Amino acid sequence: MKSKMTLATLVGFFLILALISFSVAYAQGSQRNDRVPVGFHEFEMFGEKSIYLSHYPMFGSIHSYQVILEVNLKSTDGSNPKELYLKHKQLFPEARYSVSPEKTSDGEPDYFVLPEVIKKGNSFRANIHVEQTRKPASTDYIAHNVTVEIQRVIHFRLFQPDDKKLKDLTYLLFGNDSESFMAHYISKYEDFDQIVSVTINTKDLHFTENEPAALVTIPGRNNAKLNRLGARDKTVVGHINGSSDELKFGFATLIHYEADLEIQR
């Protein structure tokens, strides 16, 4: 009887061990980005000395990320995508520009997993679009099959269900020694997306590789789309990174605005 009990115990032990191994393997596999579907990710493109991209976000979906990048543009056909963009921008200063994934060799859209691709040194293939605001409005291409190289990840953040809506109007400030931009810090549904260029004393900018952007809060100004930065804001005083340090800046131009970010169901 004792040997039978021992055999039964061993069988039970190995069965439990097998179940544990399966559970661990399943858990490890579920931690991979296999759970994050690929998507067709598009970006607003702006800047002159440096080229910046801002991801078009949505809540509750694979697009639930606020992403701002500094990139380099290359082409395989001998053209210079940055020069093409800048020349077009000089001719049509009111135009808007965007980047979307290039199609694959079989003609299908080149979908990718955002958190896997958005890393310094990575690249993806894309088309550069232009949207004319003059009548009749139209959308066309500036360049096809452009290699977008990620030089710097300025901001990358996944929206969380427990995110709190900020009380005061808050923006991400970034740029270089000749141009400065602000992107509205998207906190919680309902919220809006906005990118503007600003006038600022570049000596007040102290960005580093580890801190490529600053959080600027405008105290006493409610965080609502009706209070967003606009042409009336010639001189604004904000606080940097939650401190009492003041920063003076002014609105220059509107680059992108989406009043109501959607929830993708």
Domain ranges of the chain: 36-159, 161-265
Structure token digits, residue 1:
């009887």
Residues of the chain with pLDDT under 50: 1-34
Structure token digits, residue 183:
């992107």
Contacts of 201 (CB under 8 A, 6+ apart): 248
User: Hey, what amino acid is at 245?
Assistant: D
pLDDT score for 37: 77
Which of 163, 144, 204 shows the shortest CA–CA distance to 60? 163
pLDDT score for 262: 87
Which of 173, 75, 157 shows the shortest CA–CA distance to 115? 157
pLDDT in tens, 20-75: 333 333 333 333 344 567 888 999 999 999 999 999 999 988 999 999 999 999 99
Residue 155 near residue 172, CB atoms below 8 Å: yes
CA distances from 61 to 13, 36, 162, 190 (A): 43, 10, 15, 15
CB-facing half-sphere around the CA of 125: CA atoms within 13 A = 12
Residue 196 near residue 181, CB atoms below 8 Å: yes
Q: Position of tokens 């053209």?
A: 79
Q: Position of tokens 């509205």?
A: 184
The helix or strand, by DSSP H or E, that contains position 43, with its residue range, turns out to be: strand 43-46
DSSP letter for each residue of 57-86:
--BSSTT-EEEEEEEEEEESSS--HHHHHH
Strands 51-55 and 168-175: unpaired
CA distances from 260 to 190, 192, 222 (A): 7, 5, 16
- Scanning the chain, the segments in alpha helix (DSSP H) are 2-30, 81-91, 114-117
Q: Position of tokens 């596999």?
A: 29
Contacts of 70 (CB under 8 A, 6+ apart): 50, 51, 52, 150, 151, 152, 154, 212
